[in-house]
Amino acid sequence: MKITFRNFRITDAFTDTMGSVTVNGGRIVDVSPESEARPIDGLVFDGGGRLVLTSGFVDMHAHFREPGFSEKETLESASLAAARGGYTSVVCMANTKPPVDNEAAAYSIKRRADTLGLTRLYPAISLTEGMNGKKLSPYLEAEPSAARAYSPPLLSEDGKDVEDDGLFSAALRRAAEGGHTVSCHCDLGGEDAAVDRALRLGAGCRVHIAHVSTKGAAELLRHHKKRDPRTLLTAETTPHHIALTCRDAATSGPETFGKVAPPLRGEEDRLALIEALKDGVIDVIATDHAPHTTEDKLNGAPGFSGLETAFTVCYSTLVKRHNFSPQKLFSLLSAAPARILGLSGHGAIAAGNNADIVILDTECETLIDSAMFASRGKNTLFSGRKLYGAVVLTLCGGRVVYQSPF
Ligand code: NCD
């Protein structure tokens, strides 16, 4: 269906202009500066000169929980949550039951998500068999082949480190041979030591550091990137680590509700992460959407539901409080992750790209209420907070997948 968005502020990592955007057949077919009263056919949305139109967000790190944990989340509830959050591409992690360690399992999750048509889902595949840390995963064991039905944009053992140095290093090398980036969960011996280890063992490989949360880890990344500007090293942090500290964890409801991996840190760490985002040491913001049932949270399961609050939290924290430009924010949420994942046709509002678009109101106040989440996981420390900005509409492949009732 042909849809024209006119009178919008079109802002992505590369442009910031008033204009109109037309989509048709799943693609962006036209981007133009505001035309005088040009006749328009098809459906028309008017942005009133106020609403922002940008490229759909790309999440490098979420837990969709299927197979095995549908009481926490299902592909459908997570995909709806993604659409509500403005996410049109999501990588979901392999720590399911059973873990996703092979191509067939990943592809079957992808096909089910594709049928829902709410977001583009890319299941990550684990580094070791059954995430047991003992043997390479069947995916990495197999010879790289062009005939693969599904080639994941990311491999990851997220949830734990591969403890054996030899095995971790073999996995990183094997992944690099197949052109894969590995997202490294760095916790073994503490985050700083684990990041140092991943940088050492992954030298020359495509290493992505997941959920950076400490000043020390950010400094290691800064040092490494300065020493080797052509490095394949990239990193992410999360909305909760840039907006909250351990003090928030201690004061919000039952103690375990503030539990997340890595834990919320101190103010000095939080500010160091924001500095690292500002100067490109950390490339991406990923949600680490980790939904749990209330019972699991009470029993100490770590994680927050993040897909539906990420934009509002990041906009309020980075643009409103720390003077980031909206363009920089959209680079962190869309262009940079699309580039790292190798998703061509994503991350920018340009003719020929996929019609993955999010419309934002950046002037409104939003009261976060997790009872309204589409996600089954209702746990977030942001519930009850009044923040800035809201997702108004999400378009994935030219189809409206979410429209705000307000
Ligand atoms: C993750 C989960 O629940 O899958 N939780 C989290 O707090 N990030 C796993 C993990 O990283 O421990």
Residue 21: pLDDT over 60: yes
Residue 39: pLDDT over 70: no
Strand 207-209, strand 181-184: pairing: parallel
**Token pair belonging to 195:** 């990041």
Indicate which atom in ligand 1 lies nearest the CA of residue 288.
8
Cα three-residue angle 400-285-74, rounded to 5 degrees:
50
User: Is residue 158 annotated as a catalytic residue, yes or no?
Assistant: no
Strand 284-285, strand 207-209: pairing: unpaired
pLDDT score, position 35? 59
Rounded to the nearest angstrom, the distance between the alpha carbon of 300 and the centre of ligand 1 is 11
Per residue in 128-147, pLDDT (tens digit) is: 999 999 999 999 999 877 67
Least confident range from 66-75, 229-238, 250-259, 328-337: namely 250-259
Query: What count of other Cβ atoms lies within 10 Å of the Cβ of residue 36?
Result: 4
Residue 81 to residue 395: CA distance in whole angstroms: 14
Largest interatomic CA distance in the chain: 65
Residue nearest to atom 12 of ligand 1 (CA): 159
Strand 3-11, strand 43-46: pairing: parallel
* CA–CA distances in Å: residue 34 to residues 31, 38, 384: 9, 9, 39
Indicate which atom in ligand 1 lies nearest the CA of residue 211.
8
Query: What count of other Cβ atoms lies within 10 Å of the Cβ of residue 200?
Result: 11
* CA–CA distances in Å: residue 331 to residues 55, 60, 69, 112, 338: 10, 13, 32, 29, 9
Question: Which listed residue (12, 59, 161, 288) is catalytic?
Answer: 288
Residue 202 to residue 232: CA distance in whole angstroms: 10
* CA–CA distances in Å: residue 39 to residues 19, 43, 368: 15, 12, 40
Residue 101: pLDDT over 70: yes
Average pLDDT, the chain: 95
Beta bridge partners of 236: 284
Residue 173: pLDDT over 70: yes
Per residue in 282-310, pLDDT (tens digit) is: 999 999 999 999 999 999 999 999 999 99
Domains and CATH numbers, the chain: 3-53+353-403 (2.30.40.10), 57-341 (3.20.20.140)
Residue nearest to atom 7 of ligand 1 (CA): 303
DSSP classification of residue 14: S
CA terminus-to-terminus distance, the chain: 24
Residue 230: pLDDT over 80: no
Residue 395 to residue 406: CA distance in whole angstroms: 17
What mean pLDDT comes out for the span 247-257?
82
Cβ atoms 392, 359 nearer than 8 A? yes
Residue 14: pLDDT over 70: yes
> What does 263-319 look like in DSSP terms, one character per residue?
PP--HHHHHHHHHHHHTTSS-EE---B----HHHHHTT------TTTHHHHHIIIII
pLDDT score, position 406? 74
Query: Which protein residues are within 6 Å of ligand 1, measured from CB?
Result: 63, 95, 158-159, 185, 260-261, 288, 290, 302-303
Confidence of residue 38 (pLDDT cuts 50, 70, 90): low
User: Is residue 395 classed as helix, strand or coil in its secondary structure?
Assistant: strand
Q: Which residue has the tokens 């003090």?
A: 247
What mean pLDDT comes out for the span 252-273?
92
Residue nearest to atom 2 of ligand 1 (CA): 290
